[in-house]
């Protein structure tokens, strides 16, 4: 597509390691690394790589991973026998301790390579932002927001976001982390609980006991002790099933706009989990590609350097649509691309409906009931604005 050209005045970079996509969590596991291949094929079919710097990234080293993770955890991750191998009789307690080997976080072949490739792409993106070689750096293979220092959780083993933000903190005073995955970004929130240099904001479905991970209530704003500079720097936006584009956009703009004024971030880290889209296998929202993308567009208009991560997303054709559209927003060609998916796009048959923007009726047949009242959404915005009175920079 010759109409896709480099944006004027700023640089967008795309960071990926094609080896990562070849890993499998298991036949019916919801996480399918292959969705990254589908995303890249759409991005390429639209000619978008011509408008970006494309980096084939290396895996993160053990030392790089150690800037957040504990070495006993990394050692076990690197050496644990895959599920179909004989069990490790010397370490019966380690799988339990590190939450490895259950159905959410299986020990699959090449696990350590997969993890270090995801982290490598995200860290490369962060470094290009630090060096000012890039203004918007895209790492769709990252966004694994549940991983803890010494524990795997919710399909996440290595927290590439925390590693990326630690890079950014070397060169920028304040980082705003925004998470639009349908799940709470608990791992990132916890990692930066005690600093006022990172503000974390997660929008998610919240229904403790029923929906993973069960944290991220409205009043969860960071430990409230006297001497904790990180108090009030965790913002949570707990939502119910069925939220629509219109509601989500107004909530996002009301909250992120205000946070931008008060916190004055020097850089944004945006996790774009696509499981908040309608029709996701695990998600419960009614967002369309347009509404999801509007969050990216809003952040871009703030005119601050930005890293864009992937995250969840369990209906691969919808993940690829959203992330391809969001790539087009980054390079400012969203109004030039044809909504009809190009004839020559590989795997075009996966995109039933053949458009980047299927309607809710096309996606769901019958839309999911919306359990979010305007009154509750206004209370949430009110609460966030009150938190921000404690935040001054």
Query: Nearest Cα to 302, choosing from 178, 192, 208?
Result: 178
With CB cut-offs between 5 and 8 Å by kind, which of Ca ion, ligand VJV, Zn ion, none does residue 156 bind?
ligand VJV
Q: Measured between alpha carbons, how far is 263 from 391 in angstroms, rounded to an integer?
A: 6
* Residue 313 found at the interface with Zn ion (CB under 5 A): no
What's phi and psi for 198, nearest 5 deg? -125, 125
* The two structure tokens encoding residue 388: 């921000």
How many C-beta neighbours within 10 Å does residue 197 have? 18
Query: Nearest Cα to 318, choosing from 275, 270, 349, 360?
Result: 275
Query: Nearest Cα to 269, choosing from 136, 85, 152, 128?
Result: 136
CB 213 within 8 A of CB 203: no
Q: Which of 124, 179, 196, 280 binds Ca ion (CB under 5 A)?
A: 179
User: Tokens 């930066």 appear where?
Assistant: 192
* Residue 202 found at the interface with Ca ion (CB under 5 A): yes
Query: Nearest Cα to 331, choosing from 97, 75, 80, 137?
Result: 137
With CB cut-offs between 5 and 8 Å by kind, which of Zn ion, ligand VJV, Ca ion, none does residue 103 bind?
ligand VJV
Give the list of residues 6+ apart from residue 96 with CB closer than 8 angstroms, or none.
none
Q: Which of 4, 7, 24, 30 binds ligand VJV (CB under 6 A)?
A: 30
Name the active-site residue from 15, 23, 69, 146.
Answer: 146
* Residue 275 found at the interface with Zn ion (CB under 5 A): yes
The least CB distance from residue 45 to Ca ion, in Å, is 29
Nearest to ligand VJV of 122, 387 (CB atom): 122
With CB cut-offs between 5 and 8 Å by kind, which of Ca ion, ligand VJV, Zn ion, none does residue 124 bind?
none
Nearest to Zn ion of 142, 273 (CB atom): 273
The least CB distance from residue 30 to ligand VJV, in Å, is 5
Q: Measured between alpha carbons, how far is 13 from 135 in angstroms, rounded to an integer?
A: 8
User: Tokens 């707990």 appear where?
Assistant: 238
Q: Which of 164, 242, 273, 310 binds Zn ion (CB under 5 A)?
A: 273
Q: Site for ligand VJV (CB under 6 A): how many residues?
A: 20
146 included as an active-site residue: yes
* Residue 35 found at the interface with ligand VJV (CB under 6 A): no
Q: Which range, of 91-99, 196-204, 224-232, 284-292, touches Ca ion by CB under 5 A?
A: 196-204
* The two structure tokens encoding residue 152: 């795997």
How many C-beta neighbours within 10 Å does residue 69 have? 24
User: Tokens 């993106």 appear where?
Assistant: 125
Q: Which range, of 154-162, 166-174, 221-229, 384-392, touches ligand VJV by CB under 6 A?
A: 154-162
* Residue 311 found at the interface with ligand VJV (CB under 6 A): yes
Q: Measured between alpha carbons, how far is 42 from 339 in angstroms, rounded to an integer?
A: 12
* Residue 181 found at the interface with Zn ion (CB under 5 A): yes
* Residue 207 found at the interface with ligand VJV (CB under 6 A): no
* Contact set for ligand VJV, span 76-95 (CB under 6 A): none
Q: Measured between alpha carbons, how far is 208 from 131 in angstroms, rounded to an integer?
A: 41
The least CB distance from residue 89 to ligand VJV, in Å, is 25
Interacting residues toward ligand VJV by CB under 6 A? 26, 28-30, 103-104, 144-146, 154-156, 181, 183, 212, 273, 275, 282, 311-312
List, by residue number, the catalytic residues. Answer: 146
């Amino acid at each position: 597509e010759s109409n896709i050209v480099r944006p004027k005045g700023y640089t967008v970079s795309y960071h990926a390691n094609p080896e990562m996509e070849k890993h499998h969590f298991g036949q019916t596991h919801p996480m399918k690394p292959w969705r990254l291949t589908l995303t890249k094929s759409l991005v390429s079919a639209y000619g978008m790589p011509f408008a970006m710097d494309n980096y084939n990234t290396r895996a993160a080293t053990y030392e790089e991973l150690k800037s957040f993770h504990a070495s006993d955890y990394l050692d076990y991750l690197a050496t644990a026998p895959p599920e179909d191998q004989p069990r490790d009789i010397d370490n019966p307690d380690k799988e339990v301790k590190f939450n490895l080997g259950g159905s959410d976080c299986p020990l699959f072949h090449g696990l350590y390579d997969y993890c270090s490739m995801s982290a490598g792409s995200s860290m490369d993106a962060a470094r290009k932002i630090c060096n000012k070689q890039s203004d918007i750096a895209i790492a769709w293979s990252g966004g694994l927001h549940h991983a803890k220092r010494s524990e795997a959780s919710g399909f996440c083993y290595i927290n590439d976001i925390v590693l990326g933000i630690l890079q950014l903190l070397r060169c920028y005073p304040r980082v705003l982390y925004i998470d639009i995955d349908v799940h709470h970004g608990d791992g990132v929130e916890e990692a930066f609980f005690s600093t006022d240099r990172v503000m974390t904001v997660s929008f998610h479905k919240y229904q403790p006991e029923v929906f993973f991970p069960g944290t991220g209530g409205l009043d969860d704003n960071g430990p409230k002790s006297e001497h904790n500079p990180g108090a009030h720097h965790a913002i949570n936006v707990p939502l119910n099933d069925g939220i629509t584009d219109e509601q989500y956009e107004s909530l996002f703009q009301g909250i992120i706009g205000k946070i931008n004024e008060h916190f004055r971030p020097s850089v944004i880290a945006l996790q774009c989990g696509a499981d908040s889209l309608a029709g996701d296998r695990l998600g419960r929202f009614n967002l369309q590609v347009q509404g999801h993308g509007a969050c990216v567009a809003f952040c871009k208009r703030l005119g601050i350097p930005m890293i864009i991560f992937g995250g969840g997303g369990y209906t691969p054709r919808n993940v690829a649509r959203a992330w391809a559209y969001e790539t087009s927003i980054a390079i400012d060609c969203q109004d030039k691309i044809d909504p009809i998916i190009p004839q020559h796009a590989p795997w075009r048959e996966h995109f039933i409906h053949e458009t980047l923007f299927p309607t809710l009726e096309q996606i769901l047949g019958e839309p999911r009931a919306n359990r979010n009242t305007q009154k509750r959404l206004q209370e949430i915005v009110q609460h966030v604005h009150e938190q921000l009175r404690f935040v001054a920079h």
